[in-house]
A and B are shown apart, each in its own frame.
Chain A
Amino acid sequence: MVRHIVARLFITCITLILLPFSVFSQEPIKIGEINHYKRMAAFAGPYKLGLELAAEEVNAAGGVLGRPLEFIFRDDQGEPGEAIKIAEELITSEGVVMITGTILSNIGLAISSHAAEKQYVYLAAEPLADSIVWASGNKYTFRLRASTYMQAAMLAEQAAQSGAVTYATIAPNYAYGKDAVAAFKKNLLSLQPEAKFVAEQWPALFKIDAGAEVQALERAKPDAIYNVTFGPDLAKFVREGTDRGLFVNRTVLGLLSGEPEYLDPLGDEAPEGWIVTGYPWYDITATAGKAFVDAYQARWDDYPRIGSLVGYMTVQSIAAALERAGSTETEALRDAFEDLILDTPVGSITFRSIDHQSTAGAYVGRTALQDGRGIMVDWSYKDGADYLPSDAEVMKLRPAGQ
């Protein structure tokens, strides 16, 4: 009995000592982050590091609305159904104020539909599909990264200046590949009506038969080739194409091919002279861009990938929206995201109210080899705002009332 009382007293004392801390330290603002950490480890890893870096910086500077930001990371196994279940749990049981994440477009679309139904804000960080903000766009979904359409339009502009007339395309046989080719065609034909498409190749995603694809492209004898393949497909395509002389005296345009995630694994076999979108972190001198690269390298002892940059900007966007909303209520947050303007490592970006797409752009340049690795040279940053369709077109693309 005595022991019992002593124990109780002890617990009471401890509680009394700790009490002040719990009163003064603010409840964190929780944000759900759903991603394919295992399935897409090479992409989700750097993204998460960029995100953590930004969260640490925000919290070190006093957090948002006087509260620290806390991200809850969950793996969806690359399955849309799982992602929905996790989103449900995060929203109803974990008390997150909004959800972000995903790389794969189908999962981004699944969460976006769920967000509209259950009314929470979803910031699609990395998925590129145009339909996230257009055909399947909704009031609660925003997208940060420059979309397929925008990046394809940037390359179309370069292509129109190259003097090539006949084009061949090669793109993985799924939605992203099809969107990328359609957007490229549309933009190129409006800039250069005499351009002709002489071949379209559609290898199965990650199952490319590179030798056959290269032969088929060669057979069409195009002036220029527009490449959308990436990852292991890109490596095989570049290898077979280089061996068989496909790229000699041809203009080659590569969507995303300049991103470190895709260019670096190619090592000293990286193609030279391709016009690509990517991320030349090694060469960035602008203050904000350089500061991010330095901070990232100091924190993680590794260099940033495009995913790192997106992860970093994701936190910046969320923090800015929360700050602007002045609350964590969904409707306030949603309103705050519309026309939100913030400064990021790539410059000032705006989340457009018309379609919820941010104006974050992309770096466009030419590939070259340096010290046994592929880099981008002669690059410039293209503001995303300049590569979106007219407002009238966007209104037509988006479902009414959204």
Chain B
Amino acid sequence: MSGFLLAQVLTGLANAGALFMVASGLSLIFGVTRIVNLAHGSFYMIGAYIGYSLIQVLPGIVGFWLAILLAGIVVGLVGLLVELIVLRPVYKAPELFQLVATFGVILVFQDLTLMIWGPEDLLGPRAPGLRGVIFILGEPIPKYDIALLIITPIVAFLLWYLISRTRVGILVRAATQDREMVGALGVNQAWLFSGVFALGTALAGLGGALQLPKGGADLLMDFNILTSVFVVVVIGGMGSLPGAYLAAVIISVVNVFGVTFLPQSTLVMIFVVMVLVLMIRPYGLLGREEGAGEHGQVGEPELPFRPATPKTKIWVTLGLILLAMLPLYGSNFTQILAIDILVFCLFAASLHFLLGICGLVSFGHAAYFGGGAYAAALLLTHTGAPMEIAFILAPIGAALAALVVGLICLRLTGVYFAMLTLAFSQLLWSLVFQWGEVTGGDDGLVNIWPAEWLKPTEIYFYFAFILCVGGILFLRHVAHSPFGYALRGARDNEVRAESTGIHAQRLRWLAFILAGTMAGLAGGLFVFSKGSVFPNELEIARSFDALIVVFLGGVKTLTGGVVGGAFFKGVEEILTRFEYWRLAFGCLIIIVVIFAPQGIVGTLRKVYDDRVRHRA
């Protein structure tokens, strides 16, 4: 038995190797630059592919290890290039805006990898001399696992040395704590950021190359590792390297025991651990509380919201009338497309309300969109209730979910709040995925169609039009109401807001529920327009879709969510018809990010304002 336990732990520790390297890179990048690098999984993936190609060229034991090292270095150089071209122009943008750019990078890398290495999975080459197993207490342990057990602490030690014993490390640590101060002391922040980004991506590439002998390279690796890496970084504490190591080990070992004693738990386990850790230690195991002044206040100060001018109102009304008359001149499919876009815009607007008005960054907004869709679909499937009743349950169900999640998550702020919302949405996803008897698992729920009277496309179009436009206008109205003012006050200066008698926490909770309700409404409209719902609608990818369009549209403008949503869906609709649409779409996003760092609406308004000022 002791042999068995030891073998379990050793397997866990070996698994922790690649995970730690990728996670420490992400943690380092976040700690210094505050960039949530969504493309980190992509660097891991190209690390594996480049490592694979290098090993084919370099023979022997020395060649093998050299290839792995080189893979890390090459990926680091690619990372440097990405930082210089894509990220450097947007450091001045609102916080978290950079994640839109990294999303573009993901798309570009996906297509480039497919073009260079082809679609087939590559089986990782074996490490020369390390094939087979050795027996420890009678249990077989692969030799390469032993190698990983040795290498990981070495890398961790070197990193620790670099960070805590060198001048570069001092700067990095200083920047992690207070980057404005480091800048004020005359340190060239730009190069510090570039260097850290290159180092972080090199670690991801190294992780990718190191796991080759245990697996290989395939085109889905980038997304497949992303969730676990985020979990590790969050559990360890954002920006903390020892934390990342500890968390990688805990997650890996817990996983190994989970596989043995609770084999059904493979999906849920890490999210349960994540939620538990964050509820007990909100800043992760070894993280520390965020410094003040980090919440969306980078860049130019925000202008107060203006009510729309009469001229704007006329234009918007005309546009809405034109849209409302779509069934008169548009084809059936145009209306379907319009429904899709409207639903997505409402979803984006609900997230924008949280982000822009409340300053709450949710990484798990899909939980309410998909949650609403599932609430309606479940009622319809299991009770055969009329469609109208089921539909109403969508916003209500989402509101209830938001009520509970909001209560727990709002104890945290900033990026930790974001991470906890992510954890809850993942928990919901794994629940729906796993509980096949009720939710249909990944085979989803089908035959969720609207009532007879709603079935004609024109009627459903008007149904969606009224609810989506109404919902969006309502959110806009709320932003201009005293409630909205109070929320913005609490966002910009909580202490002052509280001293004027505003119960900031309760207001935020209400706002969170409102945003959840609206997302649920969008989810309800979605499920009845598609006739089916699958766990995809609860995935991280859906949450990030919404985040990306909000930033793309402009987080500091009222219309950002809607404009971003329409732009994203419209362009996607055109581009996906082409073979290399991901490359084109990725490049387009990157270009928009570089030239419109305030988002589409924000930048257009700036251009317009500048012109007015020049004229005056």
Within 8 A of A (CB), among B198-224: 214-216, 218-221, 224
* Beyond A211-B15, A244-B142, 8 extra complex contacts between A and B, CB < 8 Å: A93-B331, A106-B444, A110-B534, A136-B446, A212-B260, A215-B8, A232-B218, A243-B132
A41 to B581, CA, bound (A): 14
- Report the contact-size class of chain A (Cβ under 8 Å from the partner): 35 or more
Q: List, sorted by A's number, 20 A–B pairs whose CB atoms are closer than 8 Å.
A: A38-B111, A42-B119, A80-B530, A92-B336, A110-B530, A113-B446, A175-B441, A200-B263, A202-B266, A207-B224, A209-B15, A210-B215, A211-B145, A213-B259, A215-B4, A232-B215, A235-B216, A239-B214, A239-B215, A244-B142
A200 to B263, CA, bound (A): 7
At the interface, yes or no: A245 with Cβ under 8 Å from chain B?
yes
The 4 A-B residue pairs whose C-beta atoms are closest, nearest first, are A41-B119, A113-B446, A211-B11, A212-B259
User: Nearest CB to that of A116 among chain B residues?
Assistant: B447
Contact with B along A57-92 (1 / 0, CB 8 A): 000000000000000001101011110110011001
At the interface, yes or no: B60 with Cβ under 8 Å from chain A?
no
Within 8 A of B (CB), among A99-147: 105-106, 109-110, 112-114, 116-117, 129, 131, 136
A201 to B266, CA, bound (A): 9
User: Nearest CB to that of B443 among chain A residues?
Assistant: A175
Please determine whether A84 and B331 come into contact, CB atoms closer than 8 angstroms: no
Q: Which of A157-165, A262-270, A333-341, A356-364 contacts B (4 or more CB under 8 A)?
A: A262-270
Please determine whether A105 and B140 come into contact, CB atoms closer than 8 angstroms: no
A264 to B119, CA, bound (A): 13
Residues in B neighbouring A300, C-beta threshold 8 A: none
A199 to B221, CA, bound (A): 28
User: Nearest CB to that of A118 among chain B residues?
Assistant: B531
Pick from A106, A173, A239: contact of B443, CB below 8 A.
A106
Within 8 A of B (CB), among A237-283: 239-240, 243-245, 264-267, 269
A133 to B544, CA, bound (A): 34
Please determine whether A245 and B133 come into contact, CB atoms closer than 8 angstroms: yes
Residues in A neighbouring B119, C-beta threshold 8 A: 41-42, 45
- Closest beta carbon of chain B to A325's beta carbon, Å: 25
At the interface, yes or no: A178 with Cβ under 8 Å from chain B?
yes
Residue in A41, A80, A92, A201 whose Cβ sees the most chain B Cβ within 10 Å: A80
At the interface, yes or no: B95 with Cβ under 8 Å from chain A?
no
At the interface, yes or no: B76 with Cβ under 8 Å from chain A?
no
User: Nearest CB to that of A131 among chain B residues?
Assistant: B443
- Closest beta carbon of chain A to B258's beta carbon, Å: 8
- Closest beta carbon of chain B to A401's beta carbon, Å: 13
A243 to B132, CA, bound (A): 5
At the interface, yes or no: B166 with Cβ under 8 Å from chain A?
no
Residues in A neighbouring B581, C-beta threshold 8 A: 38, 75
A110 to B442, CA, bound (A): 11
Residue in B436, B446, B582 whose Cβ sees the most chain A Cβ within 10 Å: B446
A79 to B219, CA, bound (A): 17
Q: Which of B120-128, B183-191, B402-410 contacts A (4 or more CB under 8 A)?
A: B120-128
Residue count of chain B within 8 Å CB distance of chain A: 70
Pick from B228, B436, B532, B537: contact of A207, CB below 8 A.
B228
User: Nearest CB to that of A244 among chain B residues?
Assistant: B140
At the interface, yes or no: B465 with Cβ under 8 Å from chain A?
no
Please determine whether A231 and B530 come into contact, CB atoms closer than 8 angstroms: no
At the interface, yes or no: B255 with Cβ under 8 Å from chain A?
yes
Known interface pairs A129-B443, A232-B220; A215-B260 also in contact (CB < 8 Å): yes
Known interface pairs A77-B576, A174-B433; A42-B120 also in contact (CB < 8 Å): yes
Residue in B7, B11, B219 whose Cβ sees the most chain A Cβ within 10 Å: B11
Query: Which B residues contact A (CB, under 8 angstroms)?
Result: 4, 7-8, 11-12, 14-15, 110-111, 114, 119-124, 131-133, 139-140, 142, 145, 214-216, 218-221, 224, 228, 252, 255-256, 259-260, 263-264, 266-267, 331-333, 336-337, 340, 433-434, 436, 440-444, 446-449, 526, 530-532, 534, 536-537, 576-577, 581-582
User: Nearest CB to that of B261 among chain A residues?
Assistant: A216
Residues in B neighbouring A77, C-beta threshold 8 A: 576
Known interface pairs A38-B114, A113-B447, A232-B216; A212-B536 also in contact (CB < 8 Å): no
A173 to B442, CA, bound (A): 10
Pick from B8, B332, B531: contact of A92, CB below 8 A.
B332
A212 to B192, CA, bound (A): 40
Pick from B8, B336, B340, B446: contact of A110, CB below 8 A.
B446
Pick from A201, A216, A235: contact of B215, CB below 8 A.
A235
- Closest beta carbon of chain B to A48's beta carbon, Å: 11
Please determine whether A175 and B442 come into contact, CB atoms closer than 8 angstroms: yes
Residues in B neighbouring A110, C-beta threshold 8 A: 444, 446, 530-532, 534
A264 to B259, CA, bound (A): 28
Pick from A45, A89, A136, A175: contact of B336, CB below 8 A.
A89
Please determine whether B216 and A212 come into contact, CB atoms closer than 8 angstroms: no
User: Nearest CB to that of B446 among chain A residues?
Assistant: A113
Known interface pairs A109-B532, A136-B446; A206-B224 also in contact (CB < 8 Å): yes
Please determine whether B263 and A202 come into contact, CB atoms closer than 8 angstroms: yes
At the interface, yes or no: A204 with Cβ under 8 Å from chain B?
yes
At the interface, yes or no: A219 with Cβ under 8 Å from chain B?
yes
At the interface, yes or no: A366 with Cβ under 8 Å from chain B?
no
A211 to B145, CA, bound (A): 9
User: Nearest CB to that of A78 among chain B residues?
Assistant: B536
At the interface, yes or no: A203 with Cβ under 8 Å from chain B?
yes
Please determine whether A105 and B532 come into contact, CB atoms closer than 8 angstroms: no
Residues in B neighbouring A207, C-beta threshold 8 A: 224, 228, 266
A46 to B123, CA, bound (A): 19
- Closest beta carbon of chain B to A95's beta carbon, Å: 11
Please determine whether A174 and B218 come into contact, CB atoms closer than 8 angstroms: no
- Closest beta carbon of chain B to A279's beta carbon, Å: 15
- Closest beta carbon of chain A to B9's beta carbon, Å: 11
Please determine whether A80 and B336 come into contact, CB atoms closer than 8 angstroms: no
Pick from B219, B224, B444, B449: contact of A109, CB below 8 A.
B444
A106 to B548, CA, bound (A): 26
A110 to B377, CA, bound (A): 13
Please determine whether B121 and A231 come into contact, CB atoms closer than 8 angstroms: yes
Known interface pairs A93-B333, A244-B133, A245-B140; A175-B536 also in contact (CB < 8 Å): no
A269 to B122, CA, bound (A): 12
Residues in A neighbouring B336, C-beta threshold 8 A: 85, 88-89, 92
At the interface, yes or no: A236 with Cβ under 8 Å from chain B?
yes
- Closest beta carbon of chain B to A34's beta carbon, Å: 12
Residues in B neighbouring A38, C-beta threshold 8 A: 110-111, 114, 581-582
Please determine whether B11 and A215 come into contact, CB atoms closer than 8 angstroms: yes
Residues in B neighbouring A85, C-beta threshold 8 A: 336-337, 340
User: Nearest CB to that of A138 among chain B residues?
Assistant: B447
- Closest beta carbon of chain A to B135's beta carbon, Å: 10
User: Nearest CB to that of B334 among chain A residues?
Assistant: A93
Please determine whether A269 and B123 come into contact, CB atoms closer than 8 angstroms: yes
- Closest beta carbon of chain A to B576's beta carbon, Å: 6
A212 to B266, CA, bound (A): 11
User: Nearest CB to that of A232 among chain B residues?
Assistant: B218
Known interface pairs A106-B442, A113-B531, A174-B433; A204-B267 also in contact (CB < 8 Å): yes
User: Nearest CB to that of B541 among chain A residues?
Assistant: A79
Residues in A neighbouring B252, C-beta threshold 8 A: 209
A88 to B337, CA, bound (A): 9
Residues in A neighbouring B576, C-beta threshold 8 A: 74-75, 77, 82
